Structure 1
């Protein structure tokens, strides 16, 4: 009772501010209901790569013709203007306090119950990039998911970046794939494990594909990508 009173007093004196509109909002997560309603869900999508589909098809043409190394992508949101701003603050501007909000958005956007996996593995940064940034955003998200789902396990050392890659902003899918060739190595056994790779945003899937390929070569039975958002492709790539 005393703790509740103290929390109520703290909320009155120091209300939580929405990270988008800056208005006060209920609870401890910095996103008001109106701004949350502006986020675009990604429910009608390819069951393998999570690219949004214009029809009710289960799998997109690209995954049918060239199946990726990963088995499934869970990306509950589309990478629109508002979510891009939140993720940008979190990823590039050191606003780590947004991690619980982003984990909550991932959880609330799940299309069904939490999938059964054996291991969470954050997609690693090269040590130089992590030293420059100060943290790995995928590791922050994985840690928060472990707090939310305490029965899950994680291995932060299983997957490593073998060499630094060029920044991929502005690259097309083929350039990204070439840039990531041989970038990941697996240091340990993962025979028959069901692995969930944790990342922030899936764009072309090149990073996810390279990491999943390394895990599959090391014996993983299934690799899923758990990320916050999927970048929509150019309009011409939508399945009609």
Structure 2
């Protein structure tokens, strides 16, 4: 560290301490005071349900039995997705769910900074400088209503952390989605033809990292991946903060011995707020 930078650090240290006194850092889930920014309290961290092996080599859904790193779930065997892999850091439940709801509907945009390291951890094989980070787009009505695209904020933070390039307007949502609980077939129909690539020359020949906050049925990211592949992307990988896990999926023992199964109505809540 240069003398100038060291002096600036010392100069602003009292100011930072004053900010921490007036506005102390808080847990992003339960809001209790913690000892640093972008940190969960010990109770909320223990309640996070990490997604790790064994899981489907393609869609990343947790599996009950470990069949090896190349094992595919029944859904991916029957109908291979348009993306190469999809990975999520957490099960959409507990503190991970609270963070998403606060992020999207509480206007706590700074939470994208918290999410980025977990996205990087969940990525398959890491992220290279040749990767292009692309967010799932919002329809213009939803963007006007919310004021920001949460996936774009996450993509920006991930690109800064990994050194990859990003194109925040690579895709456009041309058809709004219907709100409310839907089955898997209805979700696929809901996003059919909903996405297009703005400029194929930006996508052609590139490895794309598609970013979203929550993956439920996978219909949204599959529709985006389809459009990206048609535009010439060589590979599409999906990264999300969390994913819905159906009752019966087994991620037990991944943190604090808690069961990750949850009521399907929580998964539907993601779609009722707009994507899926």
* TM-score computed with the length of structure 2 as normaliser: 0.79
Give the superposition deviation at 1:34.
2.9
Q: Secondary structure at the match of 1:156?
A: coil
| Change in 2 beyond 3 A, CA 1:127/1:155 | same
Question: Please, which runs of 5 or more residues in structure 1 have no aligned partner?
Answer: none
Structure of greater relative contact order (alpha carbons < 8 Å, 6+ residues apart):
1
| Partner residue in 2 for 1:178 | 189
After superposition, the C-alpha distances for 1:171-223 in whole angstroms (9 at most, x for unaligned) are 11100001111111112122221101110011110001000001111111100
1:85 positional shift: 1.3
Secondary structure of 2:107's aligned partner: coil
**Whole-Å separation in 1 of the counterparts to 2:123 and 2:196:** 31
- Checking the alignment, whether the CA contact within 8 Å between 1:42 and 1:52 is kept in structure 2 is yes
Scaled by the length of structure 1, the TM-score of the pair is 0.90
Aligned twin of 2:57: 47
Secondary structure, counterpart of 1:24 in structure 2 = coil
Match of 2:205 among 183, 189, 192: 192
Q: Is the 8 A contact 1:43 1:111 kept in 2?
A: no
Match for residue 35 of structure 2? 26
Structure 1 residue 110: Cα displacement: 2.7
What's the CA shift string for 1:101-144, capped at 9, x where partnerless? 2223334x436652335211110011011101111110111111
Contact 1:42 1:75 in 2 (8 A): yes
Q: How does 1:208-219 map to 2 (within 5 A)?
A: 208-219=221-232
For 1:69-80, list aligned pairs within 5 A: 69-80=82-93
- Say if 1:26 and 1:104 are closer, same or farther in 2 by CA, change over 3 A: farther
1:124 to 137, 153, 171: 137
Q: 2:155 aligns with which of 127, 142, 147?
A: 142
Counterpart Cα distance in 1 of 2:123 and 2:159: 19
In 2: Cα distance, 1:37 partner to 1:113 partner = 26
Report what 1:163 is aligned to.
175
Out of 26, 34, 54, which is 1:17 matched to?
26
Do the aligned partners of residues 159 and 12 (structure 1) sit closer, same or farther apart at CA in structure 2, a change above 3 Å counting?
same
- TM-fit CA distance, 1:13: 4.4
Q: Quote the Cα distance in structure 1 between the aligned partners of 2:86 and 2:11.
A: 44
**After superposition, what is the alpha-carbon deviation per residue over 1:9-54, rounded to whole angstroms, capped at 9, x for unaligned?**
4334432122333322111125223311210000022121111111
Pair 1:103–1:66, CA change in 2 (3 A):
same
1:84 to 93, 97, 104: 97
Which residue, out of 223, 233, 244, partners 1:220? 233
